[in-house]
Amino acid sequence: MITYEEFVMIHTLHKQGYSIRAIARMTGLDRRTISKRLKEKELMPRKRVEYKSKLDPFKEYIKERIATALPHRIPSTVIYREILNKGYKGKIRILQSFMSAIYKELLPYKEEKVIRFETMPGVQAQVDWTVIKTGKVQSMPL
């Protein structure tokens, strides 16, 4: 999808006499995109494609089950077994993605508060752990 600025630039360059190939070189866009956009009088928005999911017939049931169990979470394996008995033919991953989106919407993430405290010098020791690379490990001959 090109931006409105690119659309205007394509039309401006074409009106100035540049060829489609020259415009493609200047803008970095494909020649077919250039010629397609030159046929349009104004930038047409991209159509959003809605795909059907095997989970669609069960979404309302899943939402109800999740809502009744709040604030507790129902494992996706439990709901997966339930909807399999109702005729679901899809995989569990589709269900997990859907349930994750619902839980993010219903149970927003709560940030843990960081409690800062100070101690007198010598009272508490703190260590930052790290891994130090020493290069190649050479084996010692026996």
The dihedral through the CA atoms of 10, 12, 13, 19 has a sign that is: positive
Residue-wise pLDDT tens digits, 28-76: 999 999 999 999 888 877 788 888 999 999 999 999 999 999 888 899 9
pTM over 0.95, yes/no: no
Q: How far apart are CA 64 and CA 82, in angstroms?
A: 13
Give the closest residue to 27 by CA, choosing from 52, 43, 3.
Answer: 3
